[in-house]
Structure 1
Amino acid sequence: MHTLADHYFSSILDYLQAQGISTKTALHAISFDEFSNQRTHQLAPRISLNSYNALLVYGKKTLNDPLFGFTLGQQIRTADYGVLGYLIESSDNLSSAIKALLSYDSLVADIGKAKFELNTDTATIRWIAHQSCNEHVVLRNMTAWVSVIRQLINLTLSPSSISFTYNWLPSQRRALESWFKCPVKSSAEYNQISFPSDYLTLPFKTDNAIINSTFKQLSEQQLSNFKSQQCIDDKVNQLLTAKTTLQNCNLIGIADALNLTPRTLQRRLKQQDLTFAQLLEKERKKRADTLIASMPLADLSNILGFKDQSSFNRAFLRWHKCSPLQFIKYKTASTAK
């Protein structure tokens, strides 16, 4: 599941609101339902990439802005990045800021991977976006990087070149080149920003070693928590696999084994676009495929945790488009050949 922090998502809503579009209207338009509290409509801590894509497309269409991601990137503030923003802001120079970005970028958005290359005269940041990211995700990301660095070093600072994998119209490319103040390449192999390597040692206006150390520790803690949440489906799968029978196996019992409340487990799984029922069904199907011909079907349905054999038969039909007996007959015939 690829997600981004709620504050990074909310900054788009703030911009739309400044343009006269209410948050309620925007979220309703994209059928958004990722709330940690449905009663107060408070955003969940992490928002899915699908919702992010949808909101950007909505903004583009509603504001008739074909470069909506570019517009958003220019409006970025370090606060929109959360803890990572403050860590970057308190760095001593661009080199330190890039190291922070490479280490903790997933705290803001786990939707791509940043890579850094350094040659004699040129440095390059390449962003390999997840295949589901639309062009506005990439536009916002790369524009925001340049915007933040300008804020922290010099507003007139410009890259050597910008490359996008997308094909921009001549008028769009001119608009991009006017703001970036450098050549912009379309239909490139990578999305990347190249700049003189001398920029790496330019000092930040907001350099503060003590604050930087504090935010680095906080970033480490948040990254550790984020990774543990990312693996929640693996932990559930391990517990399911370890059970000799899936009878009486339910959300409450699994949550208790993980020292979580059922609500928390549900929320963490939802952040990965999963439910406990889906993981349980996956384990049932895996066991059924392995054990199908080794025991009576009544015993197998009991081990898999079904209340009766007819429930098992219906599930099996859903999995394989045939009955258990038909599957056994086909499997036996295939083995005999």
Structure 2
Amino acid sequence: MTIKRLAFEPVLVKHLETLGIDHRSVTSDLGFKKLDRQGRLYRLALFAKGATGDDLLGLRIGKKVPINAFGPLSYAVMSAPTPRHVLQTSIKYMRIFQSHPPNAATLSTGQSNVVFEYKHPIRLKGFTNFVPDLFFASNLQTLSQLGADLAEVRLELDYAPPDIAAYRAEIGIPVTFKASRNRLIMPQAAIDAPLSGTFSTYSRAHGRLAENVLASIASEEGLPDRVAEILSLARDQSLRASEVAAALNVSERSLRRRLSRMGWSFTALLAELRTELSRAYLLEMPVRDVAELLGYCDASTFRRAFRRWTGITPDSYLREALPDNSRRRQRAI
């Protein structure tokens, strides 16, 4: 299963349509369709901010996403026996919402409170609070829908919105602004209180479904690296797409389609790999040897390719990389 868009995207689209705002200049654009799931949401959010001027858009969208909007992952959350398990599940599958870094969100336990911290928030240029607001609002919405006690829950943010009163009214819990961290603080008794989950009996099955989704995402997102690895192991990096596809046990058509969904092409990957390798090789061996290693018939053809990739000639690259004239002359031969 490949997740092409986050559950927030259709909710944001519907929100714009409710306001009478035409989003097709963005959503119908070919470039938008080629973006990954996070890139699509961010692009649409920036458009929505410009169209509405709404600083609280992240909160509004996060609160509107129903708990069943996340497919198999929804069942894993709905099967959670306590709020602690809900937040642990959210952290476990954080990669779907935010690819990097792996520890973007954490859950820690103190003497009387449990802290759910967004340690590495995404800050969109021009709309810095959108992603953190979306993150906390959607998690609070999930907890609320599952019947968690939020009476003593509070939020700390390292930023402050233009309209603090409106923010507090929208989020519905006490908020401290311009704090040192971005975190949700819950009493330990509340976070470990049982939830009346309808699906708790099936929690293991739902957990397996969610694991399958995460595994497929990891496989899909690692595809460019796997292609690059196969190419780099070839003696001259001249493998055809069909040969790489065979090594991956997929058809060439499937390989090209999956790469395209991620904004890549086989040709672009090959060019990037050759660029990286050529830069490294040029520091260690003459140009003619680099050309042979990379599968070029002669040094002149390689020189033209290197200039096409980097905008400079191998000689210019060596002048910048090797200040020592004697070493530079030796490598340029």
Specify the SS of the correspondent of 2:93.
helix
Is the strand fraction higher in 1 or 2? 1
CA 1:81–1:245 in 2, change beyond 3 Å: closer, same or farther?
Answer: same
Return the alpha-carbon distance in structure 2 between the equivalents of residues 321 and 181 of structure 1: 54
Structure 1: gaps of 5 or more residues: 36-45
TM-score (norm 2): 0.82
Output the aligned Cα RMSD: 3.2
- 1:77 matched residue in structure 2: 66
- 1:280 matched residue in structure 2: 270
1:1-337 alignment, distance < 5 Å? 5-21=5-21, 24-28=24-28, 32-34=32-34, 46-47=36-37, 49-110=38-99, 113-133=104-124, 134-153=128-147, 157-169=150-162, 172-247=163-238, 249-292=239-282, 294=285, 297=288, 300-306=290-296, 309-318=299-308, 322-324=312-314, 331=322, 333=325, 335=327
Specify the SS of the correspondent of 2:231.
helix
Return the alpha-carbon distance in structure 2 between the equivalents of residues 266 and 165 of structure 1: 43
Contact 1:161 1:184 survives alignment (8 Å): yes
CA 1:71–1:6 in 2, change beyond 3 Å: closer, same or farther?
Answer: closer
Return the alpha-carbon distance in structure 2 between the equivalents of residues 326 and 306 of structure 1: 20
Contact 1:123 1:195 survives alignment (8 Å): yes
Deviating more after overlay: 262-271 vs 99-108? 262-271
TM-score (norm 1): 0.81
Deviations 1:277-319 (A, max 9, x none): 232123323443454474572x643442346644322222345
Structure 2: gaps of 5 or more residues: none
Deviating more after overlay: 224-233 vs 68-77? 224-233
Contact 1:30 1:58 survives alignment (8 Å): no
Deviations 1:232-266 (A, max 9, x none): 1221122112111233x232221222112234323
What is the number of equivalent residue pairs in this alignment?
A: 319
Contact 1:90 1:207 survives alignment (8 Å): yes
- 1:43 matched residue in structure 2: none
